[in-house]
Amino acid sequence: EIVLVTGVQTCALPISNNMVDLEQAISAIQMAVRLIPSDHPNLPMLLSNLGNQHLLQFHETGNVDDLESAISKSRRAVELSPDHPAFLSNLGTHLQVRFERFNRSEDIEAAITTTRRAVKLTLKDDSSLPGRLNNLGCQIQCRFERMKRTEDLTEAIKTSREAIRLTPQNHIKIGRAHV
């Protein structure tokens, strides 16, 4: 479930593959964003979560407006909290999705730059580091596939191997890693 904390109330929403649930989650987070003071410390988190929900909606509907909303909300979260690795990582992922949809080089460049920053700001013992490294490796691989630069392939392999090395052996996603 998603827990929204607005400083006034907490709202728990179930997560499912149901579009109605997704639309309700988006509506609830949008309401929280409207109600929360603009200087509230939870605003960036709400915006980042809203961006993630819009991305899920984009994957369900294919509506580009949902993807643009995901990027817009995630950018705003990063503007408000520029050194938060999770918000940076989310934005990098959203930009990668737009690259995959429209094949614009500026999107993959921005995704790589943003995700590199997320990796750099992630503590070495943070359990999110392998996933962020994996995302970065995938983004660099995307750029390699478009630009065919050998140094991108080399870096993508190196980054993905580091992600695997840092992933605990019993981790559920270890079998899904790409190298």
Calculate the alpha carbon distances from 14 to 2, 26, 52, 66, 155 in Å. 6, 12, 15, 20, 39
d(Cα 149, Cα 161) in Å, to the nearest integer? 19
DSSP-assigned letter for residue 174:
G
Q: Cβ(118)–Cβ(89) under 8 Å? A: yes
- Other CB atoms within a 10 A radius of the CB of residue 178 amount to 12
Which residues in the chain come in under a pLDDT of 70? Answer: 1-17, 171-179
Sequence-separated (6 or more) residues with CB below 8 Å from residue 131: 89, 163, 173
pLDDT at 7: 41
pLDDT at 2: 46
Alpha carbons within 13 A on the beta-carbon side of 101: 17
Give the end-to-end CA distance of the chain in Å, rounded to a whole number.
33
pLDDT at 169: 82
The closest of 75, 20, 14 to 50, measured between CA atoms, is: 75
pLDDT at 19: 85
Amino acid letter, residue 64: V
Question: Locate tokens 């890693």: which residue?
Answer: 177
Q: Which two tokens stand for residue 71?
A: 């990027």
> Could you report the per-residue pLDDT of 66-115, keeping only the tens digit for each?
999 999 999 999 999 999 999 999 999 999 999 999 999 999 999 999 99
